[in-house]
Structure 1
Amino acid sequence: MMTIKLPVPPFTKATAIQKVRLAEDAWNTRDPDKVVFVYTEDTRWRNRTDFPVGREQVHQFLTRKWGRELEYRLIKELWAYGGNRIAVRFAYEYHNDAGQWFRAYGNENWEFNAEGYMTHRHASINDLPISESERKFFWPIGRRPDEHPELSELAL
């Protein structure tokens, strides 16, 4: 029996914002063992050139991702919502094993089932090399502090 992942659709502005922040918080743990359980067993993704299907493939994808995107810090922001769908824009910063910093910008379209689990995630992402002095995300690894500016406040 599947538990409920609050909030559930249909989303209001408040519950969509809550769902986006919960997703951001989960991804900022960089723990695939925890993150995969917000998705359905048969979840379907498009992420750049990767098309994982199901929790196991998503787990493998996230393990690879966070193995190469070091000191990863992410901010997500609600763009639109309706019914059981949410659209977000996001930015994250990381460096590779050579020490080059990047800021990745993108958009995601999400679809949820009635229990609040994500069934589909479609992401479009662009990576921009940045210098360390151009970084904007400096909180300790983990959850972004509530007082940290959001994307709009950072003009991103």
Structure 2
Amino acid sequence: MKQTVSGGASASSQSARPGRFARLRRAVATFMGLALSGATAVAAQPAAVPQHWVSYAQLLGNQFQAWLGDDANPAVVRVHELMGGPKDAGDAVAAAAQPVVAKVWVDATGRVERVEFPTLIDTRVRDALTEVLANRSLAEAPPADMRQPLVLQLKLEPAAGGA
């Protein structure tokens, strides 16, 4: 199973670049608390968001993607089993298509201080994702003027070989 984070491209994408930046813009727009109703709003949004915020959101998304791809981590394996391991292949595709909203707070040193998953009902999945993502250090501290929480959409995707 492979995971992507808004702003990250999956290996199976036909046109990864345009989707990558559109998802990043949507994630940043969601972070800003702005509703996007169409492509025009998406195109106009990046001008309102400081570039250093966009860069940091991309860094965070890439780091989360790497952490969620670490199959040696037992919590990652649990996330795979709970979200991507339904009874049949059709269920696996449906489960993988559902994005998970993550609210993320990062302290001044770059440590993920807290994560919340408001769209998840299953406490087992929330606990496993929290174990994977919380209390870990990022490569950089957030910009001093960055609003928090950052809101990202995480998406689990089956690996090329299946779940």
Q: TM-score of the superposition, structure 1-length normalised? A: 0.32
Q: TM-score of the superposition, structure 2-length normalised? A: 0.31
More helix as a share of residues: 2
